[in-house]
Amino acid sequence: MWQLISGVFLGWSLGANDASNVFGTAVASRMVKFWTAAVLCSVFVLLGALLQGTGGMHTYKGLSTYGLNFAFIVSLSAAVTVTIMTIWGLPVSTSQAVVGSMVAMGVLRNSIEWGGLTKVVLCWVGTPLGAMLVAILLYFILGEIFNRIDFSLFMYDKVLRIGLIAAGSYGAYALGANNVANVTGPFVASGELSPSMGALIGGLSIGLGILTFSRNVMMTVGAGLVKLNAFSAFVVVLSEAITVHIYAEVGVPVSTSQAVVGAVLGIGIIRGVKTVNTSTLVKIIFGWIGTPAVSFGLTWGITAAVLKLGIL
Amino acid sequence: MAPFFWSKSKSVEEMIENYMLSVDECIQSCSNGIEDYITNGCTDTFITLNKKTHQAESRADDIRREIEFKLYGKALLPESRGDLLGMLESIDNIPGAAEGSINIFYLERPEITEFVKKIIPDLLEVNLEAYSLIRKAVDAILNNPRETLYIDKEIDSRESKADTMQQDIVLSIFKSDLELAHKNQLKAIISSINRISDRCQDSADRMSIIAIKRRI
């Protein structure tokens, strides 16, 4: 089972990258201390992975089937891709990296399930759009509630601060529930790991990534991308959490990064203001296109090489 | 986590209340001092009240700095922090105006002519009314911000009334047979008293913006 190292590596890079989507705004604007956010995020990611994380693993089983050594290559390529993007400070989609790798493997071994892939890609498109819709709805509903209750300055502050922490924790739960399949899904798909053991190992490795390496991307998301007031930030995090949680229920691993950007754009539509820094958005879109492409290329290259050399 | 945030912002609230008590004392000492001067001239009582005004203003400054330090220590959301800092800085101009006003009497020892003597208490009263509304506005911001918008309108009406009174007094001063230097001195005194309501208006506008910003 040494091959599982690449899964743990991927979990670590996922945690380092995706924690920014649930606590980035709060940490970068100093509403919540990094360590408070990191500990809460790790605990709730693990809870989400253990309680609801197995659905996405079944979806990955439907994408392609292969043995443990190929699962190792899939995870390794995805992990390297996400780590490169994390070092560049880009919040990218681990799901896209994993699927890019799995598709490369499927194409090479002529074992790709196009039906499963179509479902996953459709969900990718649906993620930002869904988050945008949820954000618009929540903005109006919660806005009406906030307007009816004439909060004092300090109460408004407390409600939003607690709301941000609660929404961030829920977002972390949804992240664990939805994305743990990215980490150990390929190993579960290979039949070498039970779904619950996959959820435990995946959840722990994501938590490790959050605790050790997530600060950099949190700062990019919080300070570079979003120019929001506290209420809008709260709506964005909650919308992202709800959207990703819905996909966890459906059993399709999606991108929390795409959900966040969709929600931010939703706020922009309502308020009629520019909420997204264009140059950062361009970098993120580049990351979205580049992520599956890079992981596809890496898996293709590694697999072709090992097959040619007769290692596997 | 909640009790920790609670205690920090509670302490800021208490500090703001202490700050406002010092501003109250500053404004009241200034008003009492000026009234004493126009009735009795530069007496020991006036000098004591001038000193009290100055001390209260300094104390308010110290408390404001303490609050700012506390706010920079991350007790609040960044936008609330910025709003509170802006509010305190705008309020801080009010005791500054009061101190400046009574200090003119102390430094220049002006001779107040009879017709000006009769008007100054009324002018002081309107300025004090504007300040007492600021006190209400601060309470509103801390408890029910929407009310700030109504209070802002009331302060605006007091400020306009004070402006009209100032115009009339200055007109009377320059119609009189006083020396030009004396006229200018009295004009400066009237302007300095009225600066209190001007600053109250600025501060009320600032608080209204804070309340409006929280409408979603």
pLDDT in tens, A114-171: 887 888 888 888 999 999 999 999 999 999 999 999 888 888 888 988 999 999 999 9
User: Across the interface, which of B74, B213, B216 has its CB nearest the CB of A147?
Assistant: B216
Alpha-carbon distance values, B182 to B107, B112, B174 (Å) = 15, 9, 10
Would the pLDDT of A251 be above 90? no
CB pairs under 8 A between A and B: 67
Question: What is the rounded CA–CA span in Å between residue B13 and residue A184?
Answer: 50
User: Across the interface, which of A156, A158, A165 has its CB nearest the CB of B214?
Assistant: A156
SS3 B1: coil
pLDDT-derived band at B1 (thresholds 50, 70, 90) equals very low
Cβ contact A157–B13 (<8 Å): no
Range of the domain at A235: 4-309
Q: Which residues of B touch A229 (CB under 8 A)?
A: 79, 213
pLDDT tens digits, A64-115: 666 778 888 988 999 899 888 877 777 678 888 988 998 898 888 887 788 8
The percent of residues above 90 in pLDDT, for chain B, comes to 83
Q: Which residues of B touch A158 (CB under 8 A)?
A: 2, 5-6, 9
Domain boundaries, chain B: 2-213
User: Across the interface, which of B77, B146, B215 has its CB nearest the CB of A157?
Assistant: B77
Check: CB of residue A23 under 8 Å from CB of residue A168.
yes
pLDDT attached to residue A274: 64
Question: What is the rounded CA–CA span in Å between residue A277 and residue A177?
Answer: 30
pLDDT-derived band at A215 (thresholds 50, 70, 90) equals confident
The amino acid occupying position A158 is K
B6 touches chain A (CB under 8 A): yes
pLDDT attached to residue B118: 94
Find the range with the poorest average confidence among A11-15, B31-35, B98-102.
A11-15
Alpha-carbon distance values, B158 to B93, B129, B154, B201 (Å) = 17, 7, 6, 9
First to last CA, chain B: 26
Q: Which residues lie closer than 8 Å to A68 by C-beta, 6 or more apart? A: A1, A3, A187, A190, A192
Q: Which residues of A touch B80 (CB under 8 A)?
A: 153-154, 156-157, 230
B72 touches chain A (CB under 8 A): no
pLDDT attached to residue A276: 64
Give the Cα-Cα-Cα angle A216, A219, A220 (nearest 5 degrees). Answer: 90
Q: How large is the average pLDDT for residues A172-178? A: 95
pLDDT attached to residue B80: 86
C-beta atoms surrounding B114 within 10 Å: 6
Tell me the residues of A at the B interface, defined by beta carbons under 8 Å apart.
Answer: 29-31, 33, 36, 139, 142-144, 146-147, 150-154, 156-158, 160-162, 165, 229-231
A178 to chain B nearest CA, in Å? 27
Question: What is the rounded CA–CA span in Å between residue A279 and residue A274?
Answer: 12
B93 to chain A nearest CA, in Å? 22
Average pLDDT, chain A: 86
pLDDT attached to residue A307: 83
Would the pLDDT of A211 be above 80? yes
User: Across the interface, which of B9, B74, B84 has its CB nearest the CB of A30?
Assistant: B74
User: B2-213 architecture in CATH?
Assistant: Up-down Bundle (1.20)
The count of structural domains within chain A is: 1
Among A182, A267, A181, A218, residue whose Cα is nearest residue A22 = A218
The amino acid occupying position B94 is I
Question: Is the Cα dihedral A57, A59, A61, A63 positive or negative?
Answer: negative
Cβ contact B78–A153 (<8 Å): no
The model carries a pTM of 0.83
Q: Output Rg (C-alpha) for chain B, integer angstroms.
A: 19
Check: CB of residue A206 under 8 Å from CB of residue A185.
no
Cβ contact B216–A161 (<8 Å): no
Check: CB of residue A108 under 8 Å from CB of residue A308.
no
Give the Cα-Cα-Cα angle B92, B95, B100 (nearest 5 degrees). Answer: 120
Alpha-helical runs (H) found in chain A: 4-28, 34-52, 55-61, 68-87, 94-108, 114-148, 153-189, 195-213, 215-219, 230-250, 256-271, 278-309
Q: Which residues lie closer than 8 Å to A117 by C-beta, 6 or more apart? A: A63, A99, A103, A106
pLDDT-derived band at A38 (thresholds 50, 70, 90) equals very high
Give one word for B109, left, alpha or beta, with left for phi > 0 and alpha for psi -120 to 50.
left
Q: How large is the average pLDDT for residues A225-235? A: 79
pLDDT tens digits, A266-300: 988 888 766 667 776 777 777 778 888 999 999 99
C-beta atoms surrounding B3 within 10 Å: 8
pLDDT attached to residue A283: 73
C-beta atoms surrounding B55 within 10 Å: 15
Q: How large is the average pLDDT for residues A253-270? A: 86
pLDDT attached to residue B9: 64
Question: What is the rounded CA–CA span in Å between residue A69 and residue B62?
Answer: 69
Q: DSSP string covering B178-190, please?
A: --HHHHHHHHHHH
Q: Which tokens go with B197?
A: 């309501």
Q: Which residues of A touch B9 (CB under 8 A)?
A: 154, 157-158
B79 touches chain A (CB under 8 A): yes
B214 touches chain A (CB under 8 A): yes
Q: Which residues of A touch B73 (CB under 8 A)?
A: none
Q: Which residues lie closer than 8 Å to A31 by C-beta, 6 or more apart? A: A25, A161, A164, A230, B77, B78
Among B85, B74, B20, B80, residue whose Cα is nearest residue B213 = B80
pLDDT attached to residue B2: 43
Find the range with the poorest average confidence among A73-77, B23-27, B106-110.
A73-77
Would the pLDDT of B89 be above 80? yes
B12 touches chain A (CB under 8 A): yes
Chain center to CA of B85: 17
